[in-house]
Chain A
Amino acid sequence: MNEPVIQLDRLEKHFGAVQALRGLTLSVAPGPVGLLGPNGAGKSTLLKLLLGLIAPTGGCASIVGFDPATRQGRLAIRRRVGYMPESDSTIPGMNAVEMTMTLGRISGLGAEDAMTRAHEVLDYVELHEERYRDIEGYSTGMKQRLKLAQALAHDPDILLLDEPTNGLDPKGRRHMLELIEDLGKNERKNLLLCSHLLPDIEKTCEKVVVLHRGSVVASEEIENMTRRDERWMRVEVRSDSERFAGELEREGLLFEHTEPLRFRVRLPDANGEDGDILFACARASQVTLVSFEPVHSTLEEAFFKALDETPSQPTERAS
């Protein structure tokens, strides 16, 4: 089934004079998708809209086939969405089993099913004997795993994970990412991972949506996004790097001298496959080329590039 799990059509949301989302049009395909954006990009507002906690000002949305603008739609969405909040969230006075079971029951499971499911998801996130202890004594890592467990309790169609590695030590972070990766890539769960940690997105997601100032600036496969910059070439010379740099400058090429004998050179071609100009520069400067290869930028570089390419627009709506 390749129908989009989330469809937004010119979605708008403003809070007074501040426009949080501006004409967002987006289709989120099934599978693991990352939601990136700097602070104030509109990520939290989008999550609230997807959960039906706030109503849009304009446009329309469809989440797992339901419209959050209607009451029935909101309730239907919340039955099908599992939400892992960013901040600490527990039910006071309960242990992990009780909390997961209670939330499963609120989501519509019967008492017996909720208990069975609670133990299953707590096994999955590896909360063993700790599940019978009061939550208030849990470490940050245990609380994060519990939050993931309660989001999975009712077997939702789509998971919304907000900063799932927040506050975790390296070991805990790795464990959490492994769980999320397993959910997305092996279990084929639909998930929307909201994070400002680009390596987390790169590890766990196949697609990424970049938000900036309430608009989508990029929405594509991570593989395509990081492959885009094939005009940049990583070049290594044997010697006389200064002469080579001078020749590159004479040709009007954009380059960076990254290491003593290494350069990043931006070729003028669109497809980046024509390296003849590099040979010409090497010949002219009498320098031997050791190697040259396309630079695959990291997601971080692609992310900042996407932000830089976005035209500067005021966030406030003109009154």
Chain B
Amino acid sequence: MALKRKLPLLLLYIVPAIATCVVSFLVYLKFAAEEAVIPEAFGGQMGFAAQMIARQATTHLEARMQIITFHANMNMFSLLCVAWYGSGLFCDDRRSGAFQLYFSRPLSRMNYFLGKALCVGFFGMLVSFGPAVVIFIVASLASPEWAFFKQEWDILLRALAFSVTWLALVCGLTLFASSMASRKSFALLGVFCFMGFSVAVAQVLGPFVDSRLYATSILFDMQAIAHQIFEREGSWRMVQEPWLAWTVIWSFTGLFFSGAALRLARLRIVE
């Protein structure tokens, strides 16, 4: 029912879906080239272009890094999806008087809140974690004797940990914005303004006051967390102390969820 009218949401999912297909194919091609197996897709023969792609994939493509990089790049799409879908969850219900219908039924405010949070989290996971799962499965199936699965099984858990951390923050922010705003558009604006504002504050305070203040930026913090979770040695990041990044992220997450829950608890159902 929810998907039926969510054309913009479907459009948001098309890009990650296409990108997932492309990367999955490249991963498959890499393993196939390594095994000198001609993919069925080429009809049993490889043309010149396909040979070039396979050679490039063998040389430059590392499936693990592909998953990590792709996963990191999907952050912004998951933010877009969660913000678009979730920004109206509370404020639209308030404007339409739906609370009177919900809470005159055996539905507690906690269950209502959890239902909304899990729903928006699910849609976020589809974009954030789903592609990683697909590419992982393709790599595992394509690798000889499940070598990729046996050697890199931890990448899925790391991707899950990163997705949960990122989506908890984004869902909390979105639900908080929705609980505060009177309209969906205001909530949406609030989400992106907060993200931009946090980066702006970090860019101002970081270089001139203290480099640890780069941690005020959500995106810089997630960069540091990704560095730690995926063990990306040598990659550049603004926040040098991972513990600081974790503290800031989970503090904001707790703040947003608490704020949204408090707003809901104080709601006057029947005027």
Residues of A within 8 A of B (CB): 44, 47-48, 51, 53, 75-76, 78-79, 81, 83, 85, 87-94, 98, 103, 106-108, 150
Find out whether the CB atom of A53 lies under 8 angstroms from the CB atom of B96: no
B101 interface residue (CB < 8 Å to A): yes
Contact A81-B104, Cβ < 8 Å, known A93-B5, A94-B1:
yes
Find out whether the CB atom of B92 lies under 8 angstroms from the CB atom of A92: yes
Q: Mark B1-43, 1 if CB is under 8 A from A, else 0.
A: 1100100000000000000000000000000000000000000
Find out whether the CB atom of A83 lies under 8 angstroms from the CB atom of B100: yes
Contact A87-B271, Cβ < 8 Å, known A92-B92, A92-B93, A92-B96:
yes
Residue of A nearest to B111 (CB): A106
Find out whether the CB atom of B98 lies under 8 angstroms from the CB atom of A91: yes
The distance from the CB of B94 to the nearest CB of chain A, in whole angstroms, is 10
Find out whether the CB atom of A75 lies under 8 angstroms from the CB atom of B106: yes
Q: Considering the chains assembled together, what is the distance between the CA atoms of A78 and B108 in angstroms?
A: 11
- The 12 listed contacts between A and B (C-beta, < 8 Å) are A48-B270, A51-B270, A78-B105, A79-B106, A85-B101, A89-B98, A89-B101, A90-B96, A92-B92, A93-B2, A103-B105, A106-B106
Q: Considering the chains assembled together, what is the distance between the CA atoms of A87 and B95 in angstroms?
A: 11
The SS class assigned to the B binding surface is: loop
Which positions 34-56 of chain B face chain A at CB distance < 8 Å?
Answer: none
Q: Considering the chains assembled together, what is the distance between the CA atoms of A44 and B268 in angstroms?
A: 12
Residues of B within 8 A of A76 (CB): 106
Find out whether the CB atom of B97 lies under 8 angstroms from the CB atom of A85: yes
Q: Considering the chains assembled together, what is the distance between the CA atoms of A103 and B96 in angstroms?
A: 15
Find out whether the CB atom of A44 lies under 8 angstroms from the CB atom of B271: yes
Contact A89-B96, Cβ < 8 Å, known A51-B104, A79-B106, A107-B105:
yes
Most chain B CB within 10 A, of A79, A83, A106, is at: A106
Residues of B within 8 A of A53 (CB): 103-104, 269-270
Which positions 155-198 of chain B face chain A at CB distance < 8 Å?
Answer: none
Residues of A within 8 A of B103 (CB): 51, 53
Please report the number of residue pairs spanning A and B whose Cβ atoms sit closer than 8 angstroms.
Answer: 69
Residues of B within 8 A of A (CB): 1-2, 5, 88, 92-93, 95-98, 100-108, 269-271
Residues of A within 8 A of B93 (CB): 91-92
Q: Among the listed A79, A85, A150, which residue makes an inter-chain contact with B270, where contact means beta carbons less than 8 Å apart?
A: A85
Find out whether the CB atom of B106 lies under 8 angstroms from the CB atom of A87: no
Find out whether the CB atom of A98 lies under 8 angstroms from the CB atom of B269: no
Q: Considering the chains assembled together, what is the distance between the CA atoms of A75 and B107 in angstroms?
A: 7
Q: Considering the chains assembled together, what is the distance between the CA atoms of A93 and B6 in angstroms?
A: 10
Residues of B within 8 A of A92 (CB): 88, 92-93, 95-96, 98
Most chain A CB within 10 A, of B5, B93, B97, B270, is at: B270
Q: Considering the chains assembled together, what is the distance between the CA atoms of A142 and B105 in angstroms?
A: 22
Residue of A nearest to B270 (CB): A48
3 interchain residue pairs of minimum CB distance: A89-B97, A83-B104, A85-B100
The distance from the CB of A303 to the nearest CB of chain B, in whole angstroms, is 24
Contact A91-B96, Cβ < 8 Å, known A53-B103, A78-B106, A107-B105:
yes
The distance from the CB of B58 to the nearest CB of chain A, in whole angstroms, is 49
Q: Considering the chains assembled together, what is the distance between the CA atoms of A108 and B105 in angstroms?
A: 9
Q: Considering the chains assembled together, what is the distance between the CA atoms of A78 and B104 in angstroms?
A: 6
Residue of A nearest to B102 (CB): A106
Residues of B within 8 A of A81 (CB): 104
Q: Considering the chains assembled together, what is the distance between the CA atoms of A107 and B103 in angstroms?
A: 10
Residue of A nearest to B184 (CB): A92
Residues of A within 8 A of B2 (CB): 93
Residue of A nearest to B98 (CB): A91
Q: Among the listed B95, B102, B107, B269, which residue makes an inter-chain contact with A48, where contact means beta carbons less than 8 Å apart?
A: B269
Residue of B nearest to A105 (CB): B105
Residues of B within 8 A of A83 (CB): 100-101, 104
Q: Considering the chains assembled together, what is the distance between the CA atoms of A90 and B88 in angstroms?
A: 14
15 more CB-based (< 8 A) A-B contacts, given A53-B269, A92-B88 = A51-B270, A53-B270, A78-B104, A79-B106, A89-B97, A89-B101, A90-B98, A91-B93, A92-B93, A92-B96, A98-B1, A103-B101, A103-B105, A106-B102, A150-B101
Find out whether the CB atom of A47 lies under 8 angstroms from the CB atom of B105: no
Residue of B nearest to A99 (CB): B101
Q: Considering the chains assembled together, what is the distance between the CA atoms of A91 and B101 in angstroms?
A: 8
The distance from the CB of A105 to the nearest CB of chain B, in whole angstroms, is 10
Find out whether the CB atom of A89 lies under 8 angstroms from the CB atom of B100: yes
Q: Considering the chains assembled together, what is the distance between the CA atoms of A76 and B100 in angstroms?
A: 17
Find out whether the CB atom of B96 lies under 8 angstroms from the CB atom of A88: yes
Residues of A within 8 A of B92 (CB): 92-93
The distance from the CB of B183 to the nearest CB of chain A, in whole angstroms, is 12
